Amino acid sequence: MSGRSPGSFASRLLGPLAQFRAGEGITAVLLFAYSFLAMTGYNVLKPVTRGLFISSLGADNLPWVQFGAGVVIGFIMQGYSRVIAFVPRRWMIPVTQLGMVGLLVVFWILFNGAGDARIVAAGFYLFGLILGILLISQFWTLANDIYDARQAKRLFGFVGAGSSLGGAAGAQLTASLVKPLGANAMLLLSAAMLSLCMIIVVWIVRREKNAGTSDASKTGEDEGVSSSEAIALLRSSRQLQLISLVIAFAAVGAGIIEQQLNMAAEEAKGAVNTDSITAFLAQVAVWTSLIGFVIQVAFTSRIHRHLGIGFALLILPVSLGGSAVLMLAAGAVWTTGVARVLDTSLRYTVDKTSREILFLPLPLDLKYRAKPFIDVTVDRVAKGVGALLLLVLIKDFGLGLTWRQLSYASLSMMVLWVIYALRARRQYLAAFRQSIEQQSVEPAEIRLDTADLNTVETLILELSHPEPRRVLYAMELLESLDKRHLVSPLLLHHESPRVRARAISVAEAAGAERGAHWLRGVERSLKDSDAAVRLAAVRALAVLQGEEAAELMRGYLRDPDPKMVVTAASALAESAIDTDRADAEHTLQTLTADTREQSVPIRLQVAHSLGYVRNPRFRPLLVPLMFDADLSVAQEAIRSAGRLGSGDADFLFVPPLVSLMRNRLLKSAAREVLVAYGDEVVAALAYFLRDPEEDIWVRRHVPSTLALIPTQRSLDVLVSALEDPDGFVRFKAGAAIERLRRSVPQLRLDRAVVERQILQETTRAFNALTLHYNLFVNHDLDAASLLARALEQKHQRAFDRIFRLLGLVFPPEDINAVRVARDSADPRLRSGAIEYLDNLLEGDIRRRVMLLLEEMPGEERVRRGNVIFKTRGRDVEDTVAQLVHDEDQVIAAAAIQLVEQRQMWTLADDLEHALAHRDARDWHVFEAASWALAARRMPIEQRRALWREPLPAVELATRLRSVPLFAFVSVDELFRIAMLGHQVRHEGGRILYEAGRSVESLQFLLDGRVGAARPDGEIKHIEAPAVLGFEGVIEGSPAQKTIRAVDPCVTLSLTTEQFLSLLSENVEIAQGIFRLLIDRRGHPGWHTVSHGSIAPVLARKVDAGPLQPVDTILLLQSSPLLGRATATQLVGLAAVARPVVLKKGSDPLVGAEPSILVVLSGAVRIERDGVPPETAAPGDVVGIYETLGGVAFPVRAEVESEGKGLRFLSSDVLDLLADDIGLLRGIFSALLRVPERTSAPHVH
């Protein structure tokens, strides 16, 4: 809002009435005048519309026009919106008011003999209804444009008060002037008021730059949801049904009373005495406004505060019945006026507030979607139904009741209304308790006038709940209701530090005068074990004692208790005195620099406290703590960086947080903080992603982080990463794009980049294919060699990326279905999939993809591919020479190994060239070439004797691939394991593992033989290749057997930390191990369906609505694979659960990617070749083993009976396992405890 110096006098003058700030006074006065004049003009007119209608058409015909208004007003408002849309928004309101003035003049002319009085009266009545809608909605639209949320809380009470005064003033003017001047003259008086109002609006629009930014043609008629969706919401919510009935009863009851008033006025004043009828109705409106004002100010809040929602809901129906009895007993016209005054005064004060309270327990999204429909449409429909009911009751073709006899209808209505009001109260209390449990009410959305007795009593009971989150929530709600004095100081002894800190903040907000009884408890909190509580206590004490926090804390810097020293330093960090800040910084630096083991608790306190220090000067102290040797200190420092929130100064933390994504134990915490920075951090993440000098695994983790920041900028960075030289980065970028597009479909994708990358991937796929064909098909070399496997995997990875990329530009469900069908054993399915893609794709993409996809002999595929990709066939030596110089060092090293194995020494010069000119970082190539050339110059035995270096990675990879544990692991990862491991030679008799001792490393037996001694003394000999210590590393348990070398042997050793980091960084290895364990320890019943059950209480919750996270956790606990999962791990799994509706006849396993399906209700039929069909019932889990192992679903599924389920997408689950190795180890452990169905040595 613009601030102007002339407003300062007005601000001072009006200070006692509202909290004005400099420059706000003049605009507030103008808005007050606007609301006053608008309501005055409308209320001058309102009795006239009724009086003229009654004198022209009769009171018994009013229901006809009321029913018609409910039908046509919506269409009229739509037409108005289209016409006024041609006017600039800033001038919509003045132009609308000018039009109203013009129409009033036209009606004045028509009423003075220029038109049919009956038609004009009906049209004028309809005009009055529309005028009321526009004047009210446009005033609040303008006020909301000018004021922000904080200004609105201060000023809306003042500017809105003009409408209350205007209502009484307008009606009084009509009551006083209509008889001497006549009803027609009131139209000109109203026009004059609206003209003044228009002038004031023009003044406001010129004065305030934000005025007119919203569309003033919107009146709330078109808000909310569609009618079909609203009806669905009503059917699903008992609370909404009862609210709708309460509103409907109020509308029908008001219609009956208004009809009685109109009929009584017609009977008492004479049907043709327009001025007398108008004066009577105006006088009733005056009393309605005045009494309504008194009730709102003096009684509404007290009724809710002391008597509760139940009493408040019964006031209006009881007043309806009471006024009906009064009319039957007295039979005088004044009784209808009393009834009208009571009904309108109570309906727009106590009852309106009660209806708002009924909405309180509803989730915010549901409330905002359903409330406009209920407030507008339900009310309008109820009025229409009430109008039809009145016609039946009063017209001659119906019952023909008089206005007195209509009281019997009111009494009948009262009985039904009371019944449903009591039900609404019970439902409200039940829903409110449930909303507290689910925390679906936003404290910021609560207004102070909704503090009814029942709500407050429920919240006070919640303060003693054992769950901290519910206590915190109750405290938040009580503060929102301005009931903080009801929060007990006993909460300072609560076991949760968050509750204690929040309770202290309540004491601080109470101030010195009202918070004196908190003082002793807050003083004790200075020595609380939690830093946040201590800092809160410092701030609260400063308020309660009227001192500065710095003065209170200076003496504690030398305190013998380190916790008090940290608290004092943290408090002084916020001091305005530079020496205080310097002392605090020096103290915290000294404590941080003490890296001794016994100082871990102190460093932990410092890391925690810094998260509450807002002074940017102290933020660099967190950086070294993020890399602390103690894991708990590092984790706390990262959490503190997250608590400090986003901002320019906080980007100091981005580089260390990015580097910590390389640490498997800190990766998840670091990513969470980076994601919290939002879109602002995307540019920094893009820099690290594109930096070729950055650690490759840091770069590979960046796409997953960007996927959690759902913005256009994130998508653009990920799309550019599709062209990264590193294949794994490209793979992760594609997966991240899929995830982003799933969560925010409206993000725009640069299709040209994706299509360009599809073409590049087809080139990579064909190159690997043709090179493999040249060597291992056309020339019949060893198809089991390391090079053959590496080329097959390279082709398959490129092929996978092609389908992933196609899923970015075409419907992913369709592309995935094609992929599944292409791997099917059914030739018709394969043919249909190929035909679909053939018709879907175009141009070069179609030619290249179809070449790779279509079924044809290998020779034909290569021949046709050579034409498309402009390549040629090569002989063996030419092909191998090309591979020796391949840019992928794994492929090059494997090719060099093939040179040695086949004695292709004509390529020796190529090996020498590789040694001389290869990039220094390609160590695999250097050692493979050296090893191969040594074999050329000397016998194998002599080479082994003279070779002093560890075996080359290519040799280790060859041996590792024969270990069953790595049967499904890629050649690239085998090379990585070889590089990470440490080769050890063990002499005969040396102990590798001792029973009962912790297992510190995983050892791969490459050569030789070891003996495993059981507790009973039996020794089992194990030949190379084999894995030793696997169960101990995975489970973190002591060795079960003593293993010693029988003969001299060689092992490749990986520490536990190295192996777990390996699993964290590449879940492909974990999937390979999953596949092996499932294959060796599984049985047919394990595949696809894992049977379970759902507790009856959980089944009832499924039927009632969506499951809460705690219910999902209880469901997951029943899985045998999650028996060792902690509560935190189960919470993480529950967070990625996606509700799914099981529709009869559908296939619930069809989707963009493999997923785990938990059946909550209904039934799913599962068919698999060679196995009898089975049914997945509630509690059963479908696809958990296939998803974990990364294998295709060889099944057909169909929903037999409709129900609900939970879906866990493969990418979500694997990301979670990569971030939480503890959960991964627990699942491995569960699989290891299942007996093997075949003898499977080699894993010990």
Same domain membership, residue 808 and residue 680: no
Task: Check: CB of residue 734 under 8 Å from CB of residue 799.
Answer: no
Residue labelled with tokens 């109750």:
474
pLDDT band at 1171 (very low <50, low <70, confident <90, very high): confident
Alpha-carbon torsion (21, 25, 26, 32), positive or negative:
positive
Q: Which pLDDT value is given to residue 1083?
A: 45
Total domains in the fold of the chain: 8
pLDDT in tens, 926-959: 988 988 888 887 776 666 665 556 788 898 888 8
Query: Is the pLDDT confidence value at 6 over 60?
Result: no
Query: Which residues neighbour 370 within 8 Å (Cβ) at sequence distance 6 or greater?
Result: 224, 225, 230, 233, 234, 237, 240, 362
Q: What is the mean pLDDT of residues 745-763?
A: 89
Q: Would you tell me how many other CB atoms lie within 10 Å of the CB of residue 1106?
A: 11
- List the one residue out of 1140, 1168, 1171, 1169 whose CA is nearest residue 1155: 1140
Indicate the Cα dihedral angle 118, 120, 121, 124, nearest 10°: 160
Same domain membership, residue 652 and residue 568: no
Q: Which two tokens stand for residue 1056?
A: 């536990």
- Report the distance separating Cα 173 and Cα 211, nearest Å: 31
Alpha-carbon torsion (247, 248, 249, 255), positive or negative:
positive
- Report the distance separating Cα 10 and Cα 24, nearest Å: 8
Same domain membership, residue 777 and residue 842: yes
496 lies in a domain?
no
Query: Is the pLDDT confidence value at 686 over 90?
Result: yes
Q: Which pLDDT value is given to residue 709?
A: 92
- Report the distance separating Cα 573 and Cα 557, nearest Å: 12
Query: Is the pLDDT confidence value at 1196 over 90?
Result: no
- Report the distance separating Cα 770 and Cα 966, nearest Å: 27
Q: Which pLDDT value is given to residue 717?
A: 93
pLDDT in tens, 561-601: 787 788 888 888 888 888 888 988 898 999 888 888 888 98
1010 versus 331: the higher-pLDDT residue is: 1010
- Report the distance separating Cα 678 and Cα 690, nearest Å: 19
DSSP letter at 748? -
At 949, phi and psi to the nearest 5? Answer: -85, 160
Same domain membership, residue 677 and residue 665: yes
Query: Could you tell me if residue 471 is left (phi over 0), alpha (psi between -120 and 50 degrees) or otherwise beta?
Result: alpha
Same domain membership, residue 626 and residue 652: no
843 lies in a domain?
yes
- List the one residue out of 576, 567, 568 whose CA is nearest residue 615: 576
Which of 749, 764, 788 is a domain's end point?
A: 749
- Report the distance separating Cα 1213 and Cα 1071, nearest Å: 12
- Report the distance separating Cα 1007 and Cα 957, nearest Å: 13
Q: Which pLDDT value is given to residue 216?
A: 55
pLDDT band at 1212 (very low <50, low <70, confident <90, very high): confident
Q: What is the mean pLDDT of residues 235-253?
A: 81
Query: Is the pLDDT confidence value at 451 over 60?
Result: no
Same domain membership, residue 1074 and residue 1045: no
Which runs of consecutive H residues, i.e. helices, occur in 902-1042? 908-917, 923-937, 940-946, 953-960, 971-980, 1030-1035
pLDDT band at 649 (very low <50, low <70, confident <90, very high): very low
Query: Is the pLDDT confidence value at 274 over 90?
Result: no
Same domain membership, residue 372 and residue 267: yes
Rg value, the chain, Cα = 39
Q: Which pLDDT value is given to residue 5?
A: 40
Q: Which pLDDT value is given to residue 143?
A: 75
Residue type, 811: P
pLDDT band at 405 (very low <50, low <70, confident <90, very high): confident
Q: Would you tell me how many other CB atoms lie within 10 Å of the CB of residue 952?
A: 25
Q: What is the mean pLDDT of the chain?
A: 80
Q: What percent of the chain has pLDDT over 70?
A: 83
454 lies in a domain?
no
CATH number for the domain that contains residue 1149: 2.60.120.10
pLDDT band at 21 (very low <50, low <70, confident <90, very high): low
What range does the domain containing 637 cover? 548-644
Indicate the Cα dihedral angle 1127, 1133, 1137, 1142, nearest 10°: -90
Query: Is the pLDDT confidence value at 749 over 80?
Result: yes
Query: Is the pLDDT confidence value at 1194 over 90?
Result: no
486 lies in a domain?
no
Kindly list the distances between the CA atom of residue 298 and the CA atoms of 341, 350, 448, 778, in Å, as whole numbers in the listed order. 17, 11, 15, 97
954 lies in a domain?
no
367 lies in a domain?
yes
Task: Check: CB of residue 698 under 8 Å from CB of residue 726.
Answer: no
Same domain membership, residue 427 and residue 306: yes
pLDDT in tens, 499-554: 888 888 887 777 666 667 777 787 788 777 787 788 778 777 766 665 566 677 77
pLDDT band at 1084 (very low <50, low <70, confident <90, very high): very low
Q: What is the mean pLDDT of residues 55-66?
A: 79
Which of 1041, 1065, 1089 is a domain's end point?
A: 1065
Query: Is the pLDDT confidence value at 417 over 50?
Result: yes
824 versus 1099: the higher-pLDDT residue is: 1099
Give strand pairing partners of 1176: 1164
Q: What is the mean pLDDT of residues 1152-1162?
A: 80
Which runs of consecutive H residues, i.e. helices, occur in 308-405? 308-330, 333-346, 352-359, 364-372, 379-394
DSSP letter at 949? S
- List the one residue out of 658, 611, 665, 653 whose CA is nearest residue 636: 611
Highest mean pLDDT among 487-501, 691-705, 1119-1133: 691-705
pLDDT in tens, 155-195: 666 666 677 777 778 888 888 888 888 888 888 888 888 88
Q: Which pLDDT value is given to residue 786?
A: 92
pLDDT band at 1107 (very low <50, low <70, confident <90, very high): confident
Half-sphere exposure of 882 (CA within 13 A, CB side): 15
**Does the N-terminal peptide bond of residue 1015 adopt cis geometry, omega within 30 degrees of 0?**
no
Residue type, 669: A
Which of 1065, 1096, 1131 is a domain's end point?
A: 1065
Same domain membership, residue 1218 and residue 1076: yes
Same domain membership, residue 650 and residue 639: no
3-state secondary structure of 48: helix
- Report the distance separating Cα 27 and Cα 8, nearest Å: 11
Task: Check: CB of residue 399 under 8 Å from CB of residue 392.
Answer: yes
CATH number for the domain that contains residue 431: 1.20.1250.20
pLDDT band at 685 (very low <50, low <70, confident <90, very high): very high
Q: Which pLDDT value is given to residue 973?
A: 86
450 lies in a domain?
no
Same domain membership, residue 1088 and residue 1227: yes
Alpha-carbon torsion (531, 536, 541, 547), positive or negative:
positive
DSSP letter at 725? S
DSSP strand pairing (1163-1168 vs 1195-1201)? antiparallel
What is the crossing angle of helices 238-269 and 352-359, to 10°?
170
- Distance in Å from the first CA to the final CA of the chain: 73
996 lies in a domain?
yes
Q: What is the mean pLDDT of residues 744-763?
A: 88
Same domain membership, residue 274 and residue 292: yes
1001-1007 β-sheet, strand order: 982-986, 1049-1055, 1001-1007, 1026-1028
Q: Which pLDDT value is given to residue 890?
A: 92
pLDDT in tens, 341-359: 777 777 766 666 676 777 7
Q: What is the mean pLDDT of residues 357-386?
A: 72
At 156, phi and psi to the nearest 5? Answer: -65, -35
